C-alpha cells in the first residue's frame, strides 16, 4: 500500500538516507561543535530525569512484565544557570540511533558530545502552582533527547516540560541501574499497530500526569505546577498521540500534532479543546492524494473548538526536531530547503505561541494570520478545497 510506504518513510526518517555533503560526515565532529540552539527565554533552564513505574498495567510490548517503566526528562525554569549541563545521549543511545537511521562515517558515540543548555539538578524557580505543564512525546524509534530543543526553549519561557521516553518504542532507553531497553515494538507496521501505539502513549501520558501532579510526586518542584494548565505536543506518532491523549484525559487542555499522521481519527463525538496541526507543506497540503494528509482531513471537521492547520514550506520530517539541527551540523543532507536552525526557530515559535495563548491567555496574532517574519508558514483551509 502506498500509505504504508509513506508512514514507514515518515517514522523511520528515511529522509536521512545519508546523502552526505561534499565534506565527509566523519569530518563534522572534528571541525564543528555539535550544539542545540540557544533557548530564547529569560529564565535559566534546569533539568532532571525521573524513573517512573506504573504497577497498574502490564507493559503493552512485553506482556511478561507486569508493570510499565518510563523515563522522563523534566525541563523547568531554574534559579541559577551554574553547574554541569545534561548529557544529550549515552554512548549506547547514540550508537543505536545512528544505526537505526543508517548513518555511517561518524563515530558511533558522536551524539554524546552535543552541547545542551539545561543544568542538571538546578533549583527550580517559581511561585507555588504558577507554572503551566507541557508534555512532549517523540516520534517512533526516537529517544526523548531528540525533543530537547523544544523542552529547553519552553522551560526558558517559564514552562515545566516533561519529555517522555515510551519504553520499547524507541531504539534505546537507559535506566538508572544501567539497563538499556531496545525497540520491542519494531516489526510489522499494520494499521492496528499504529492505533495501539497511540493508545498506549495516551496511557503513558496520563500516568506521567498522575505522577507529576499527585501528592506523592518525587520531583522537588512539583508544587510549582499549575494543575489547571496542562497541554501536550509531540512529533510524528507522538503528535498524533497528543490528540488521543486529549480524548482519554480531560486534564489536557490543548494539544499540538507536529507532522504526525492520525491513525486513530478524532471520534464522531468530536474534540472541543484547542488543537494545532503543524506540518510539512509537501505532505500535509489539503488535497494531496496521500493517507497522511487524508487523516488530517478526516478529523478536521470533528475538531469543534479553536483549531489551526499550518503548513511550513521547505521542511522535512526531521526539520521539526533536534535531528534536523544535529544532522546538518554533522554534514548530512536531510532533504530540507530550509536551514535546520531556521526550522527549529519556526517550530519553537509557533509551538510557544499556541501554549501561551491557551495556557496563559496571551493573544497571539501569529496564530490568526500569516506573518511577514515567517513567510515559510501558511494557513490551510481544507473546506476551501
Encode pLDDT of 158-184 as tens digits: 999 999 999 999 999 999 999 999 999
Given a cut of 80, is residue 23 above it in pLDDT?
A: no
Q: What is the mean pLDDT of the chain?
A: 91
Domains in the chain, number: 1
- The string of DSSP letters for 80-120 reads ---SPBPPS--HHHHHHHHHHTT--SS-TTGGGG-B--PEE
Strands 275-280 and 252-258: parallel
Given a cut of 60, is residue 14 above it in pLDDT?
A: no
Mean pLDDT confidence for 232-237:
98
Given a cut of 80, is residue 297 above it in pLDDT?
A: yes
Calpha distance 321→325 (Å, rounded)? 7
More confident residue, 373 or 15: 373
What pLDDT is stored for residue 8 in this prediction? 34
CATH of residue 46: 3.40.50.1820
Given a cut of 70, is residue 291 above it in pLDDT?
A: yes
C-alpha cell at 207: 500516568
What pLDDT is stored for residue 384 in this prediction? 67
What pLDDT is stored for residue 32 in this prediction? 74
* Cα separation values, 273 from 39, 89, 216, 231, Å: 28, 35, 29, 10
What is the extent of the structural domain holding 237?
2-384
What pLDDT is stored for residue 267 in this prediction? 87
What pLDDT is stored for residue 31 in this prediction? 58
- pTM across the whole model: 0.92
Mean pLDDT confidence for 242-263:
97
Encode pLDDT of 101-131 as tens digits: 999 999 999 999 999 999 999 999 999 999 9
Encode pLDDT of 41-85 as tens digits: 999 999 999 999 999 999 999 999 999 999 999 999 999 889 999
Given a cut of 80, is residue 19 above it in pLDDT?
A: no
Q: Which helix (H) or strand (E) holds 242?
A: helix 237-248
When pLDDT is cut at 50, 70 and 90, the band that residue 385 belongs to is low
What pLDDT is stored for residue 362 in this prediction? 98
The CB density around residue 370, as the number of other CB atoms within 10 Å, is: 13
Cα 116 off chain centre by: 17
When pLDDT is cut at 50, 70 and 90, the band that residue 7 belongs to is very low
Encode pLDDT of 339-381 as tens digits: 999 999 999 999 999 999 999 999 999 999 999 999 999 999 8
What pLDDT is stored for residue 27 in this prediction? 31
C-alpha cell at 222: 512539583
What pLDDT is stored for residue 21 in this prediction? 29
More confident residue, 234 or 32: 234
Given a cut of 60, is residue 249 above it in pLDDT?
A: yes
Mean pLDDT confidence for 5-18:
34
Amino acid at each position: 500500500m502506498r500509505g504504508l510506504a509513506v508512514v514507514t518513510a515518515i517514522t523511520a526518517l528515511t529522509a536521512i538516507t545519508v546523502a552526505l555533503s561534499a565534506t565527509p560526515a566523519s569530518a563534522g565532529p572534528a571541525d564543528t561543535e555539535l550544539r542545540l540552539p540557544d533557548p530564547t527565554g529569560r529564565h535559566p533552564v534546569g533539568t532532571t530525569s525521573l524513573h517512573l513505574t506504573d504497577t497498574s498495567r502490564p507493559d503493552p510490548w512485553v506482556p511478561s512484565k507486569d508493570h510499565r517503566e518510563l523515563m522522563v526528562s523534566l525541563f523547568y525554569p531554574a534559579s541559577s544557570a551554574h553547574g554541569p549541563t545534561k548529557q544529550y545521549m549515552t554512548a549506547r543511545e547514540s550508537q543505536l540511533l545512528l544505526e537505526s537511521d543508517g548513518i555511517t562515517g561518524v563515530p558511533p558515540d558522536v551524539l554524546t558530545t552535543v552541547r545542551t543548555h539545561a543544568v542538571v539538578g538546578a533549583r527550580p524557580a517559581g511561585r507555588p502552582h504558577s507554572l503551566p505543564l507541557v508534555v512532549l512525546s517523540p516520534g517512533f524509534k526516537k529517544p526523548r533527547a531528540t525533543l530537547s530543543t523544544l523542552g529547553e526553549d519552553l522551560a526558558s519561557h517559564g514552562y515545566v516540560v516533561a519529555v517522555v521516553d515510551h519504553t520499547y518504542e524507541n531504539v534505546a532507553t537507559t535506566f538508572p541501574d544501567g539497563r538499556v531497553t531496545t525497540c520491542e515494538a519494531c516489526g510489522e507496521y499494520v494499521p492496528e499497530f499504529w492505533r495501539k501505539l497511540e493508545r498506549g502513549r495516551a496511557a503513558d501520558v496520563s500516568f506521567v500526569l498522575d505522577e507529576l501532579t499527585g501528592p506523592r510526586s518525587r520531583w522537588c518542584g512539583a508544587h510549582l505546577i499549575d494543575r489547571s494548565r496542562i497541554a501536550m505536543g509531540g512529533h510524528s506518532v507522538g503528535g498524533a498521540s497528543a490528540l488521543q491523549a486529549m480524548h482519554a484525559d480531560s486534564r489536557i487542555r490543548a494539544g499540538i500534532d507536529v507532522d504526525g499522521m492520525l491513525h486513530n481519527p478524532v471520534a464522531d463525538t468530536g474534540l472541543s479543546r484547542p488543537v494545532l496541526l503543524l506540518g510539512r507543506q509537501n505532505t500535509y497540503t489539503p488535497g494531496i492524494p496521500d493517507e497522511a494528509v487524508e487523516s488530517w482531513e478526516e478529523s478536521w471537521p470533528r475538531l469543534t473548538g479553536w483549531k489551526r492547520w499550518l503548513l511550513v514550506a521547505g521542511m522535512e520530517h526531521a526539520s521539526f526536531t533536534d535531528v534536523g539541527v544535529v544532522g546538518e551540523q554533522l554534514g548530512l543532507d536531510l532533504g530540507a530547503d530550509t536551514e535546520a536552525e531556521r526550522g527549529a526557530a519556526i517550530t519553537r515559535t509557533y509551538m510557544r505561541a499556541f501554549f501561551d495563548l491557551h495556557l496563559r491567555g496571551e493573544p497571539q496574532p501569529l496564530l490568526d494570520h500569516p506573518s511577514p517574519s515567517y513567510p515559510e508558514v501558511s494557513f490551510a483551509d481544507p473546506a476551501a478545497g
